């Protein structure tokens, strides 16, 4: 039996690929991932024989995912992408092949779900053939990952810690409880993604500013983060921090329907600040922040999740905890104290 992991950000495409591939009795779909980062993590646990990978995905795209997989846990990868992308994005396809992907095929038309045509048959043949290929580690990918871990930080950032918080349903009140005990000379910037309806983020910033000793602002593009200031991601915009400590705002595609997304924030601060990150997941439904938590631990950062008893909705903290990457699970009123302990 050939074990296949499907990596694609579209739920419809994931279902379609699973449906058409499992029409062959020799193929078993063992898992799904909706971005490259989740794909990398699932490869480690599921150990597939082959991976089908889209190219354009949020959080971590197919090219970077191929590079990291082939540099660390090499296995056959088949790029499966749209016909329009095959013609318009050829340069990206070539980059994926250069990074170690074995081949590329077009996504079957949805009309072929139950009436397999040539595209479906071609996809099945490729999966069965490529699953038997003995791939080798791509040193370039391995070196790139290692290099990323060792990029020298700007001198001013080497000792700076960053706190990143993700919250959703019940989050505003919880944020007040976590942030208000922190001193006005808190020695790190705090970056927050709070899922909230349009038009309310400035009001939240003003309210938190009145409740907290630290200054609270809505983040602005290219703003340099500073200790003692709390930055809220603007509504409808992803927020990240680059390697020079400046906030970048992006209108990239929503992640699981969310923009801003906590995963997006945690991913970037982990890459920029590595072991100097303290990540906190508060109350909320869904799983936003879970993949980001995995990335924070990958770089040696510290992680906290709110406990079930004090969460309005125990969704996001629960899925984060289930990754095994949470250092402390705490009731709401003890989180600020733990942040201060991790700072020291």
Torsions phi, psi of 36, nearest 5?
-65, -35
Q: Which residue has the tokens 């409880």?
A: 177
Structure tokens at 247: 């906030």
Q: Are 22 and 29 in contact (CB under 8 A)?
A: yes
Would residue 209 show up in a list of annotated catalytic residues for this protein?
Answer: no
Tell me the CB-side half-sphere exposure of residue 304, using CA atoms within 13 A: 26
Angle between the N-to-C axes of helices 290-298 and 262-273, in degrees from 0 to 180, rounded to the nearest 10:
10
Q: Write the CB contacts of 170 (distance below 8 Å, at least 6 apart in sequence).
A: 282, 283, 284, 311, 312, 313
- Residue 134 is classified by DSSP as -
Q: Which of 131, 195, 307, 336 is catalytic?
A: 195
- Residue 152 is classified by DSSP as P
Q: Residue 224: is it exposed, middle or buried by C-beta count within 10 angstroms (0-12/13-18/19+)?
A: exposed
- DSSP character string of 69-94: HHHHS---EEEEE-HHHHHH-HHHHH
Cα–Cα dist 318/154, whole Å: 35
Q: Which of 49, 61, 138, 168 is catalytic?
A: 168
Would residue 168 show up in a list of annotated catalytic residues for this protein?
Answer: yes
Cα–Cα dist 57/34, whole Å: 8
Spacing of C-alpha 302 from chain mean position: 16
Would residue 288 show up in a list of annotated catalytic residues for this protein?
Answer: yes
Cα–Cα dist 320/57, whole Å: 21
CA distances from 193 to 121, 165, 219 (A): 44, 6, 11
- DSSP character string of 192-206: EEE---TT-HHHHHH
Q: Which of 8, 263, 287, 288 is catalytic?
A: 288
Q: Which residues are catalytic?
A: 168, 195, 288
């Amino acid at each position: 039996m050939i074990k296949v992991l499907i990596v694609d950000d579209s739920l419809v495409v994931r279902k379609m690929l699973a449906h058409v591939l499992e029409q062959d009795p020799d193929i078993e779909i063992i898992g799904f991932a909706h971005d490259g980062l989740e794909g990398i993590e699932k490869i480690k646990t599921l150990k597939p024989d082959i991976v089908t990978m889209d190219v354009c995905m949020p959080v971590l795209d197919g090219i970077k995912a191929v590079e990291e997989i082939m540099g660390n846990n090499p296995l056959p990868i088949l790029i499966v992408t749209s016909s329009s992308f095959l013609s318009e994005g050829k340069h990206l396809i070539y980059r994926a092949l250069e990074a170690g992907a074995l081949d590329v095929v077009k996504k079957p038309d949805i009309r072929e779900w139950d009436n397999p045509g040539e595209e479906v048959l071609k996809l099945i043949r490729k999966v069965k053939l490529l699953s038997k290929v003995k791939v080798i580690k791509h040193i370039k990918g391995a070196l790139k990952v290692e290099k990323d871990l060792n990029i020298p930080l700007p001198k001013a950032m080497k000792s700076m810690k960053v706190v990143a918080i993700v919250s959703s349903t019940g989050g505003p009140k919880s944020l007040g409880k976590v942030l208000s005990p922190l001193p006005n000379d808190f020695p790190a910037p705090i970056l927050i993604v709070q899922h909230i309806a349009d038009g309310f983020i400035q009001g939240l910033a003003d309210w938190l500013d009145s409740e907290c000793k630290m200054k609270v602002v809505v983040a602005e593009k290219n703003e340099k983060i500073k200790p003692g200031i709390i930055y809220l991601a603007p509504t409808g915009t992803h927020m990240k921090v680059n390697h020079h400590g400046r906030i970048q705002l992006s209108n990239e595609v929503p992640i699981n329907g969310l923009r801003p997304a906590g995963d997006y924030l945690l991913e970037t601060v982990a890459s920029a600040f590595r072991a100097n990150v303290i990540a906190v997941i508060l109350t909320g439904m869904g799983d936003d922040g879970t993949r980001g938590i995995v990335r924070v631990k990958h770089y040696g950062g510290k992680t906290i999740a709110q406990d079930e008893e004090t969460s309005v909705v125990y969704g996001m903290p629960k899925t984060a905890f289930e990754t095994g990457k949470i250092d402390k699970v705490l009731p709401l009123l003890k989180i600020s104290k733990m942040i201060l302990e991790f700072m020291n």
